Structures are given as structure tokens and as C-alpha cells.
Chains A and B, each alone.
Chain A
């Protein structure tokens, strides 16, 4: 439709993928560990594979870190869902405000239909109990933008529930 709005690739070149693994593997594993504890290595691997699969379609080299964090967040959700569908609870206790796996499950169901970025914002705020500065760091934006994202996500959630 509107071709001028499309980003023409070739202007910004993507870094070689393994550079991302070297730069962010460490913090992605740490983050995955907070989400799924003992399965962190599997989830982080799955996240990097998903990222690698869609990497050629990424149009800009900016915000790759935030992009990785979104992917690992989704991979962790999928992983927990799969586990609970098989009648098992997540291994160990999650290091989150919502300690009860059942509550965590309900929370995930509740936000499941929202956009990935809305899910990430809600999860970082209400499950991980992070402040807006930290949420901003995680999502690769300012704390003001992080606050906006959380409130937009809350509004979207509220709209769905009424």
C-alpha cells in the first residue's frame, strides 16, 4: 500500500548474530532464570533460535537488545504453558512476587491475548515488581516511556475484562 513507509534494508546493517549471543547471552540467561528457574538454559536457547529464525527479517540494527528480551519473555511464557498443560508445575519456586504457580498461571492466561510488548510490560511491572527505570532498561526505552507502556497495557487489559 504505502511503500514509502517501509524501511529500505541495506541502510543499517545488522551485526553478525553471534555478536548478540556474546553481548547479551549472559543477561538473557539471567533473565530466563528469573522466569523459569531450572529451565533457563533451555528457554534461553529456544529464545536465541527463535531470534535467529526471524533475524533476516529484522529491518534495523537498533533496539536488538529489547527485541531479544521480548523473545525470551515469550519463550518463557510458552515454556510454562507447555509445562502446565502436561500437568506439571514450573520447577521450584519462581523468584517473583506471584509465588504461587497457580496465580502465575492465571496471570499468564489473563494477559495472554495482549501484544507481546504489553505482556512484557505487565510482567516486568507486576510479576517481577521492577521500577520504571529498570523496566525501561529491560525494554530499551526511557523510564517515562516504560511508565506509558505499562499504563497502556493496563488500559488494554481493563478493556478486555469489561
Chain B
């Protein structure tokens, strides 16, 4: 007796209404691929590219934020439509609370918090971002923080570029980074 979509949704709704879900997640189809989006009661806590593997991503969430992980299109509706709209260029900014608990090092969390101040259309170098986060000279460590960003796109690690030029590396691959920067007008196609 295969569970119907309706039954699964009712189960998820009941779990959420009873306050039993620590994290909810769902997928969203975008021009840069099918993304997994997860959120806790504090905000969006994970955005994952398809290459990352759903099982691994969810296991990591369960381990660090709690095992009560529930799939729900409804509960993640707002953040998913913001991300989708952003990537379709119908939404200019993603104004949504962020939960950075999956980033456990305080320095790296500081880097990402600083990064949220870099606005659409702008870019910053790794060295500049390191300085803003209070550690001038820690460009490499800043690069690591960006590479481990649990919420790409929402926390714009794609706006961090090498001082030597070029787009540099990206967790979702340099091609996606280029597309995001073009979309934001920081780079001409």
C-alpha cells in the first residue's frame, strides 16, 4: 500500500502543527538545477545543489539540528518561492531569516554574517571579506568559510571573488557562480 501524496502531506502538516518537526525541507526546480531547501524555526538552514546528494545533506541536518526532519512543500513554500523568483529574476532580494547553526566555527559564521552585507550586483575579494570579518590576511580561511557555506545563494558566497581576477571557485561549480553574477549584473555575459 504505497503512501499517497495526500497522506504524506497530511502527516507532514500534522507533525508541523503539533510542533514535532525540527527541520522541514523540500525541493525547488530552478534555472540552475533542482535545489534542496531546508529550514528550522530560526530560518533557512540549508540550500543544497543536486550534486550534494539528498541523503548526505539530510543526515548532516539530522545529526546537528535534530533528527525530526520532515518533508513539507507547504512549510517551505515561502523560502522556496523566494529562491525560485530570485533565480528567475522576478525577485530582487531574498529577505528571509537565516539559521547558520550548521556552520559550527564562530570565525566562519562571522565571515558569512559579514557576507550578507554584500549586496546584489557588488562583489568583494576574499582578502577584503577577511578584513571585514576582523581577520585581515586570513583570505584562505575566508575562502574555506565560503566553500562550506550551508546556505549558498541566500548567503551570497558567489559574490566573493579572487583579487587576481576571474570568478574563482564555488561549491556549486564555477559555471553556476558565473551565472549568478551575470544574473545580478556584476558580470556581463
Binding site for B on A (CB under 8 A): 13-19, 21, 25-26, 29-30, 33, 40-41, 44-45, 48-49, 52-53, 55-56
Q: In the assembled complex, which residues on chain B have CB atoms less than 8 Å from the CB atom of A15?
A: 59, 62, 67
Bound Cα distance from A49 to B3, whole angstroms: 15
Give which listed residue, A40, A45, A53, contacts B11 with CB less than 8 A.
A45
In the assembled complex, 19 residue pairs joining A and B whose CB atoms fall closer than 8 Å, in A order, are A13-B63, A15-B62, A16-B23, A16-B58, A16-B67, A16-B69, A17-B67, A17-B70, A19-B58, A21-B8, A21-B71, A29-B1, A29-B3, A33-B1, A45-B11, A48-B15, A52-B15, A52-B21, A56-B68
- Residues 11-22 of chain B: 1 if any A CB is under 8 Å from the residue's CB, otherwise 0? 100110010110
Structural contact, B11 and A49, CB atoms closer than 8 A: yes
Give which listed residue, B1, B2, B68, contacts A55 with CB less than 8 A.
B68
Structural contact, A16 and B8, CB atoms closer than 8 A: no
Structural contact, A21 and B11, CB atoms closer than 8 A: yes
Q: How large is the interface on B (under 10, 10 to 19, 20 to 34, 35 or more residues)?
A: 20 to 34
Bound Cα distance from A52 to B19, whole angstroms: 10
A30 and chain B: residue at smallest CB distance? B1
Identify which of residues 1-43 in chain B touch chain A, using a CB-to-CB cut-off of 8 Å.
1-3, 7-8, 10-11, 14-15, 18, 20-21, 23, 25
A32 and chain B: residue at smallest CB distance? B1
